Structure 1
Amino acid sequence: MEFGSSNCHEKLNLDDVRRSVKYHPSIWGDHFLTYASTKTEEEKELQRQKEMVKKVLARVPDHSSHKLELIDSIQRLGVSYHFEEEIEKSLQCMHDTYLGCSSKDNDLRTVALRFRLLRQQGYRVSCDVFDKFIDGEGNFKESLTKDVEGMLELYEAAHFGVHGEDVLNKALHFSSSRLESLATHMASSLSALVNEALKFPIRKNLTRLGARKFISVYQEDESHKEILLNFAKLDFNIVQKIHQKELSDLTRMVECYFWALGVYFEPQYQMQKLIEYYFEEAKWLYNTHIPTLQEYMKVAIVSAGYMMLASTSLVGMGNLVTEEDCRWISGEALEAKMSAVGCYMSQNGASREEAFEEFQKQVSKAWKDINEECLRPTAVSEPIIVRILNATRVIHSLSR
């Protein structure tokens, strides 16, 4: 693995990792790594299992619901980066026959899962496929509540909506409200899964955090594929070790990479902006001045650190980062600190509850903006989009 620009490249050696870093015990126990005492053995075993998973992927027909479930499991287990070409090929095939297959399927779970997987991949597929689940009064059919797995997939799919998709707005309200009320009457394992999804829907969850939890869920699923489960555990442990090494070198890497990119990501420049905006907030406080929401948002976007986080997220991408990407990153951010509530209350004579409701609407709008940016064609390359999406996911995780 190589990091940064040509001035900062460094070969990562797992043997060095073991000598220099003290690790917490593997979350899966030593059983899964006893056969892999050296880097070469680990890589060989990972590659062997990877080829076996590839064969499983190839055997399952692209148009079957089993292929949808398999791709979903691979992605949620955090190992989809090993099978990008295979997954893209299968999803392209599903996209080409999307309307035909979705019109024939009356199973909510299958329709919602197909929609979500394609939207995740950037395909601009129609949400009209959910119209069949709407009753004569324009609401989702109450009979759907009997299908908890289908409701859960509908809930996850609804988070990929963009502006103007009313059926997905209805889907999110319907599925979330019904799942919340049903959760108390479910088996403990299913209830835990639903409650976790209500806090951290797939769209807003960090891949590795989600994978850590989903590995345990997948292990308890009687229909799980043992080779995929073992591969995910091995991959998780190896990646965990690599990240521990990366964290120990992060400061040096950031300084080197900032120097290579120049002014757009210069730490001193970013820090100077932060200090200026913190000073502006201090003046408001000293003069007991309550700014308008517009005034506050202009300052809070910078002082909250989102731009710094977004910029830093590009570290290690090398030549994938262009000057145009830098300018795009420097555009308006979407996050503001919760003290903006006070500004809104003062400006509009609103209650705290009304202010929170308004900001929740803004957050929902921002996520739809993000979803739109993620659909092809994208303004910048997919790896850049994913980094910014993950930065936003961090904020969602910290707010829970």
Structure 2
Amino acid sequence: MRQHGYNIPANVFIKFKEAEGGFKTTLRNDVKGLLSLYEAAYLCTIEDYILDEALNFTKVHLKTMEKQMRTTLATRVLDALEMPLHRRMRRLEAKNYISIYQEDEGRINVVLELAKLDFHMLQSIHREEVRSISMWWKALGLAEKLTFSRDRVVECYVWPLGVYFEPHYSRARIYLTKVIALLSIMDDIYDSYGILEELQEFTEVIQRWDIEAVDQLEEVYKLHFLNLYNTFKEFENELADEGSSYRVDYLKESIKEISRAYFEEAKWRDEGYVPPLKEYLTVSLISSCYKALACASFVGMGAKATKEAFDWVTSFPRIIKSICSICRLMDDVVSTEAKEHYKLSSSTYDPPEQVGA
């Protein structure tokens, strides 16, 4: 129930413990029960000591029982031990579970056929979206003209697919993919291509969001801003009939905020400046783009995405700030490991070297 936002107390699990404090020995032979308890343990909070104990208990016994399980159940347990099932992408997990359920002797064939039909029908919608996005990306010509940038539009689609896979969010997925793809190019421009003077002009044009100002830019910056501007204009035109074109204004402000953060990091890089952790996070939580992408994820949605929702997400609430912090630092750890593996030069910030990181 915690997965669905209900703050259920962890003391509901006390009934599974002996008077002496340990978990009941009878649980050790109940594989499905252990698996459910294992999954629940990953939804713990700081004070849920009983779930910390449950995690250790279930891990040990699920591993020891691996050879005693039926093949289908063993597969599910091994997958869960690698990564809790509720943390996986739901549609990919649905495909995996269909394969497992198909081998289950107690399966209900009608349910199995319905699951397969549902999966393939929805997959056909997703394929059409990828086709549409790929055609849009090819028409922009950014991959051919900006050879220094990453050509990863299909990869960009996977992120929205993990956010919302349902058929009625088709437009939202397409919008979000386009925003991610254009931000990826912007990141490469600031990180790998631009010199500081040109980046300053580029940043100023983005802040003004003025199509007439692009002539002062060098061709690479001009090309990117024109595509960004035109894509957002398309969003506005499509949303105008619903009276929700105002959503794009929120998105524009998020993009402006990112460009300012990117430029600040570019200055750090050129000056060889390593900021203190607090200063670094103030900028890098924005440059992580997750705040902007949270906003972008609302733009193509239906009536549920109200103006109040946009006011909330752009106010940088604690949950969004926490997401940005986690993802930013995870990215930095991976980047640091990559530098060590490939012997790359130092970046703006190196987490292991910062006290308190």
Which category describes the TM-score, using the shorter chain as reference length? 0.5 to 0.7
Work out the number of aligned pairs and report it.
Answer: 233
Rate the CA distance shift 1:296–1:339 in 2: closer, same or farther, 3 A. farther
Give 2:310's match in structure 1, choosing from 294, 319, 326.
Answer: 326
**Residues 290 and 346 in structure 1, CA contact (< 8 A), matched pair in contact too:** no
Contact 1:145–1:151 under 8 Å retained in 2: yes
Secondary structure in 2 aligned to 1:164? coil
The residue identity in structure 2 corresponding to 1:327 is: D
Is contact 1:301-1:336 (8 Å) kept? yes
Query: In the alignment, does 2:87 pair up with 1:214?
Result: no
**Displacement after TM superposition at 1:234 (Å):** 0.6
Distance 1:141 1:149, change over 3 A: same
Counterpart in the other structure of 1:295: 279
Distance 1:178 1:292 in 2: 44
Q: Select which of 314, 328, 334 maps to 1:336.
A: 328
Task: Report whether the alignment pairs 1:154 with 2:138.
Answer: no
Q: Distance in 2 between matches of 1:119 and 1:345?
A: 34
1:243 paired to 2:227 = no
Distance 1:348 1:140, change over 3 A: farther
Question: What amino acid maps onto 1:171 in structure 2?
Answer: A
Uncovered stretches (5+) of structure 1, i.e. residues with no partner = 1-117, 350-354, 356-400
Alpha-carbon deviation of 1:136?
Answer: 4.1
Asked if 2 retains the 8 angstrom alpha-carbon contact of 1:152 and 1:179, the reply is: yes
Q: CA separation in 1, counterparts of 2:23 and 2:277? A: 37
The correspondence of residues 1-400 of structure 1 with structure 2, limited to 5 A, is: 118-141=1-24, 143-180=26-63, 182-183=65-66, 186=69, 188-249=71-132, 254=175, 255=232, 256-257=234-235, 260=239, 261-262=245-246, 268-330=252-314, 331=316, 332-333=320-321, 334=323, 335-338=327-330, 340-341=332-333, 343-348=350-355
Secondary structure in 2 matching 1:213: helix
Shift of 1:338: 3.1
Please give the alpha-carbon distance, in whole angstroms, between the structure 1 residues aligned to 2:274 and 2:26. 50
Q: Distance in 1 between matches of 2:63 and 2:272?
A: 42
Indicate the SS of the match to 1:221. Answer: coil
Alpha-carbon separation, structure 1, partners of 2:263 and 2:79: 39
Helix, strand or coil at the partner of 1:320: coil
CA offset digits 1:320-370 (Å, max 9, x no partner): 111111122222331214354565432327xxxxx6xxxxxxxxxxxxxxx
State the distance in 1 between where 2:277 and 2:236 align.
33
For the Cα contact (< 8 Å) 1:297–1:340, is it kept in 2?
no
Inter-partner Cα distance in structure 1 for 2:272 and 2:20: 52
Q: 1:170/1:300 Cα in 2 relative to 1: closer, same or farther (>3 Å)?
A: farther
Unaligned regions of 5+ residues in structure 2, if any?
137-170, 176-231, 240-244, 334-348
What amino acid does structure 1 have at the position aligned with 2:268? Answer: W
2:251 touches 2:295 (CA, 8 Å); kept in 1?
no
Provide TM-score, normalisation by structure 1: 0.50
**4+ runs deviating over 6 angstroms:** none
Deviations 1:15-69 (A, max 9, x none): xxxxxxxxxxxxxxxxxxxxxxxxxxxxxxxxxxxxxxxxxxxxxxxxxxxxxxx
Question: Once superposed, what is the RMSD of the aligned Cα atoms?
Answer: 3.1
Which secondary structure does the structure 2 equivalent of 1:132 belong to? helix
Larger radius of gyration: 2
Compared CA separation, residues 184 and 123, structure 1 to 2 (3 A): same
In the alignment, the residues of structure 1 paired with residue 66 and residue 312 of structure 2 have an alpha-carbon distance, to the nearest angstrom, of: 42
Structure 1 stretch 326-335 or stretch 148-157: which is displaced more?
Answer: 326-335
Amino acid at match of 2:355: N
Structure (1/2) with the larger helix percentage:
2
Q: CA separation of 1:239/1:164 partners in 2, compared to 1, >3 Å: closer, same or farther?
A: same
- CA contact under 8 A between 2:10 and 2:51: conserved in structure 1? yes
Distance 1:182 1:280, change over 3 A: farther
Distance 1:339 1:194, change over 3 A: same
Give the 3 Å change call, closer, same or farther, for CA 134–223 of structure 1 in structure 2: same
Contact 1:264 1:326 in 2 (8 A): no
**Structure having greater relative contact order (Cα 8 Å, sep ≥ 6):** 1
Q: Distance in 1 between matches of 2:13 and 2:121?
A: 40
Deviation digits for residues 126-185 of structure 1 (CA, Å, limit 9, x no counterpart):
432211222345343455333222111101122333443222232223323443455466
One-letter code aligned to 2:328:
A
Q: Deviations over 1:367-394 (max 9, x none)?
A: xxxxxxxxxxxxxxxxxxxxxxxxxxxx
Give the Cα separation in 2 of the matches to 1:257 and 1:201.
37
